Structures are given as structure tokens and as C-alpha cells.
Chains A and B, each alone.
Chain A
Amino acid sequence: MDQLLQFVFSGLTVGAVYALVALGFTLIYNASDVINFAQGEFVMLGGMVTVFAVAAGMPLPLAALVAIAVAVATGLALHRLAIEPARGASAVTLIIVTIGASILIRGLAQMVFDRQFHALPAFTGEEPIRVLGASILPQSLWVLGGAAAIVLALWLFMERTLLGKAVRATAANRLAARLVGIDTTLVLALAFGISGAIGAIAGILITPITLTSFAVGTLLALKGFAAAMLGGMGNPVGAVVGGLALGLLESLAAGFISSTYKDAVAFLVILGVLFVLPQGLFGRRAVERV
């Protein structure tokens, strides 16, 4: 029992990060059909900028704000300088643009920062909390709480603000959105900006637990993409559930089956789900018009 609980704690913490990356994927995908493989780099920037700002003497909250600002600026620049100029190109071309961007961002990060690993101090102490024989770090609660807060904020934004409604309209039908006067370019820029912010926050929350370096983005992009597909690409709720599910799958597989093949177990389950529910757990069904 305590064993199971320990695996669940581990899986939820890791899964929360996957969920945030998947959420970033989803936002941009909804606005443009682009799968933004630079999404992991936002997480990297969040962690690395905070580490270096703290090292330069900034207090942690200020450093975190700077990091979020840098990631948002990077997201907007990615949209303005790389995605916009290629407007009208096929989705695959745009995806390759984001792959190029991730290589570029990583290449710059290793020069601007360094190639070492870095940690941040935990926000509220390192003493693990014992629950029924299992233990969880206070920072894990920060990660879970932070992820929940982001999801809530995003939901409020989408449901309650005019801009959010424009984003949803664009996601539902881009042409119709344009016809009713929504500036879809602005919506896409917004999606990149928000994705940058979400990624950066994830990076800041997780760095005290997982450490960071210039290269952490690639794997997170891969896992986040898998999570988004599991949940149903394009559905924010699906992204969150998919992320948490993937994290749990990995830790349960490592705990009960084989730590060597835990990633394989996770992928087999994803494939199984897709066979039964081709649109993902929360996907919407598309109707093809001929």
C-alpha cells in the first residue's frame, strides 16, 4: 500500500509537468494545426533563466518573473520571426520550422548559459512529508498546485474573457472565426505567448526537484507530445489528463513491471487506448467534407 502510494506521488509530480507541456502543445495546435516541438525549450528557459537570475543576486520571485518574461518573449519572437513569415506553408513545413527553432534556442542557451546542470532551492523546505508510509516533497505539492492553478486560470480565460472566446472560436473553425472578424494572427501570437508562459512556469516549479540544463527540453517535448496525443490532440482537458496518466503509467510500470521498459509500457498503453478510442481520451471527432 505504502509502495503504491509512493509510485502515485512520483507519477503525479512527473505527470503534472508532462500535462503542462501537453497543454502548451494543445494551445498552439488549436490555433494553427502546428505541433510546436520547441515547447520543451520554454520549460528549459524557465528553469535556466531563473537559475542564472538568482545567481546574479535576484530574489527568487523576481527571477521567476524575469524567466517567464523571457519565455513569453521567445514564444512571441518564434511566432513573429519564424511562423508568420512562413504563413501559408503546410503544417509539416511549420513543424520543421519549430524543430529548427528548438535547435536554435538550445544552441544559444548553451552559449549564453553553460553546459552544466543546475538546481534551485526548494520554495518551502526540503523536509519530505510522510503520508501513510510514503513520502512526498513539499516542492511536489508546489508543482501539483501550480499546475492546477494554471489549468484553472486558463479555463477562466477561455470561458470568461472575450479574447478567450476568440481563441476558442479560432480553434473550432479558423475560417469562420476570420469571417466574423477575429484577428486569427493575433490569436496565434497569443497562443505562442501563453504557451511560453506555461512552459516557463513548469520549468521554474520543477527545477528544484529535477534539476535543469540547456538540454532538458527535447525529452520533455517528446513526452508532452505523447501525453497530448493520449488525451486527444487539441483538447486542453485531455492534455492535462493525458499528462498525468503518462506520468502515472511510467512510475507504476517502473515500480511494478520493469524500470528498464517503463517507457515501452507507457507507449503500449497509449497505442492500446488509440485503438479503442482513435480520437484520444477526450478528442473531438472530425467530419471530413468532400
Chain B
Amino acid sequence: MSRRLFAALLVGAAALTFGPSPAGAQAPIRIGAVLSVTGPASFLGDPEARTLRLYIDRINQAGGVLGRRLELVLYDDGGDANRARTFATRLVEDDRVVAMVGGTTTGTTMAMIPVFEEARIPFISLAGGIEIIEPVKPFTFKTPHTDKMACEKIFEDLRKRGLTRVGLISGTGGFGASMRTQCLRVAPAFGITIVADERYGPGDTDMTPQLTRIRNAPGGVQAVVNADFGQGPAIVTRNFAQLGLGVPLYQSHGVASRSFIELAGPAAEGVRLPAAALLVAEQLPDSDPQKRVVMEYKQLYESTQNQPVSTFGGHAYDGLMILIEAIRRAGSTDGVRIRDAVRQTRGFIGTGGVVNMSETDHMGLDLSAFRMIEIRNGTWRLLD
């Protein structure tokens, strides 16, 4: 190798390392995330964090956004609202993020909302609670379906089957408690009578006492609905089979991950749940607008993370993509302009459904985004 060529190579290498690269010409665009990666909601927060890391990397490899790199600043709140609030302050005042995706639980989200509203920074939450977007707050959005929609979808299915006497069993965590409240509220509108209302605590390992009470509810019970996520629903499903209640069991969108079927085992046969199309990606007709998006996400996630895809990670995907598209459309990283662009999201196809936001709707999903799914032969089966 000639000396000159060597020198040229050296300069070239230096230019690559230090010189202006296409995506690094300016300071990176910082996107904040506060997720419950550990703690009681880690079942949701872990796939959310993995999804954000995965896609931020991919977007950067493809050249970033507005010619700038993205930088993810991610903190773990451990499910604690006070800590989430502190990290939100840190994101706004210290890290100077332009937008925020995250807030795994409704509790942490509600604690963080004032910080982002005050700083006028767009905040896309990944939690289910309806109070996040009702009433509408100027800078706050969310991607998952609300727990009220889950109740409505389940009750709609019960009405179709002519079942009206329902036993409710819910976890006392944020997800279960909130869904319990919503289900109790909307039940009368569907002609449903809640004949038993049982609860179990975080980490409880045997729910046969509660299910025995439901079985012996005066007047009898025609179906059981379980509102919770994580290991609770798997144990409820096993105990349900052990006791042989012999009526239909409905789970919520909180179990929308393959690990539920693995954990509940054969007891999961026949369980129904409302969930996003992501779970049944392969079974969607090719004409379904969501088919391509959900297949891509599922394949990329499962091939890189070595674990089954869940709809929770999907919510993070939707939130990030809605945000990125909004930044592109706004052509700016100004908080108000990004917010306006997020609000103008129309026909966005995500893993959770087709999103149409507006000034009065900061979620943009309707009941059609939920599919009724039944577990058959150890796998999901699309019912409608």
C-alpha cells in the first residue's frame, strides 16, 4: 500500500468518524420515555421499552428524522407515580426532550400529565385509563384502547350469546380496578347483571376461594369476566378449569400476549378476549388494511427479541410512529407544531387499529379496532 493511499484512507476514516454525516449534521432529536420496566407492571413496560429501542435504532439507520438522528432518553419508574413525576421533570428540564412516548400505567401517566402540559410538550401515553383523554388535555394523547371499550366489546359478545348473568373477578392493580369500574358502569346498557364482584390482590397465587364464591352466587352465573394482566389471569384461568365452572370465561386485552396461553396451559382452551389485530396477524385477510403493518412488527420483534410479541409493545410502536410522522409533517421540533400535527393524524394504520385523531379525540380508535378472539388448540382464533 502506498503511503499516499494510506494517508487518504486515514483522512477518510477520520471524516467518517468526526465529520458531518448526513444524519448527524445537527444535534439529535431527543425523545423521552418513562416506562414501568420493572415493578408490578413490568409485564407491560418491558415490551414497550424493547419496542422503542428497536425502532429508534431502525429509524436512525434509515437516516433519522428531518435529517437528524433520534436519541431515546428512557427512564424506569418501577411503576411508582412519584418517581415517574420526577423523571418527567428531568426529561423536560434537564434532558430537554421534544416529545414523550410512555407512561405504562394510568397512575404514572396521570402523575406526569401536568409536567408536559405545563411545558407544552406532546405526551403520548401507553396506558388504558379513559381519564387520560377525557376530558381532552391539549398536549396529552394515548394509543391503547380504553378499558371501557374492552368491557363494551365483551358485553356485546355476551349479548350475542344470550348470556346476562355475569361474575366479575378483577385484580386490585390499576388495570384491573379501572376496568372493574368501567364494566360495572356500562353493564346495565347491555342488559348485563353483575351477580358477583370478587377481587384478588397483587401476587395472589390461588383464586379458588373467589371463583367458588362466583360459582355459588345466588341465582347462578352464566359467564365470568376477568379484568387484569400478568400472572393473575393465568392463575384465574387455571383455577377456573380446576373447579370446572362450565360457563364461558372472558379475559381482557391485558392478556394479549402468547405467554398467557403458555402460562395458562390447556385451561386456556375456549377463553375469549377482545384484543388488537396484532395477535391474529396471520389470520387477517390480505385485504385487511392492518395486515402489512402488524405482520412487519410481529416478525421484527420476535426475530430480534426472542420472545413472543404482545399488544403492549404494539402500543409503543403506534405511539412512536404517530409521533415520528407528526414531526415529519410539522417539519419542526417545536412542541406546539408537533402537537398540532399529532392531532391531525388521519388514517394512521397501527398495530392497535386505524387511528383518526381530532381536537376532541386524542386516541382516535373506535370499537372496530378491537377483535373478539377465542383460544382454540393452543392458539388465537379470530371470531369476527
Contacts and interface: CB of A to CB of B under 8 A. Distances in A.
The answer to whether A and B touch in the complex, with CB atoms under 8 Å apart, is yes
B296 interface: no
Contacts of A209: 205-206, 238
Nearest to A253: B209
A116 interface: yes
A211 B235 contact: yes
B242 interface: yes
B199 A117 contact: no
- Residue among A14, A17, A259 with max Cβ neighbours from chain B (10 Å): A259
B46 interface: yes
B229 to A, nearest CB: 10
B231 A259 contact: no
Nearest to A209: B205
B266 interface: yes
Contact of A13 (B46, B206, B210, B234): B206
Nearest to B45: A115
B231 A6 contact: no
Interface string A116-155: 1111000000101000000101000000000000000000
Contacts of B234: 117, 119, 211
Given A110-B38, A259-B199, A260-B172, A117 B259 contact: yes
B181 interface: no
Nearest to A136: B242
B307 A114 contact: yes
Interface string B199-214: 1111101101110110
A215 interface: yes
Interface in B136-171: none
A82 B208 CA distance: 41
A259 to B, nearest CB: 5
B44 to A, nearest CB: 10
Interface in A139-177: none
Interface string B109-125: 00000000000000000
B20 interface: no
A140 B307 CA distance: 30
Contact of A9 (B201, B205, B208): B208
Nearest to A260: B199
A50 interface: no
Contact of B38 (A115, A211, A251): A115
Contacts of B199: 259-260
B244 interface: yes
Interface in A184-224: 206, 209-211, 213, 215-216, 219
Interface of B: 37-40, 42-43, 46, 172, 198-203, 205-206, 208-210, 212-213, 216, 230-231, 234-235, 238, 242-244, 259, 262-263, 265-267, 307
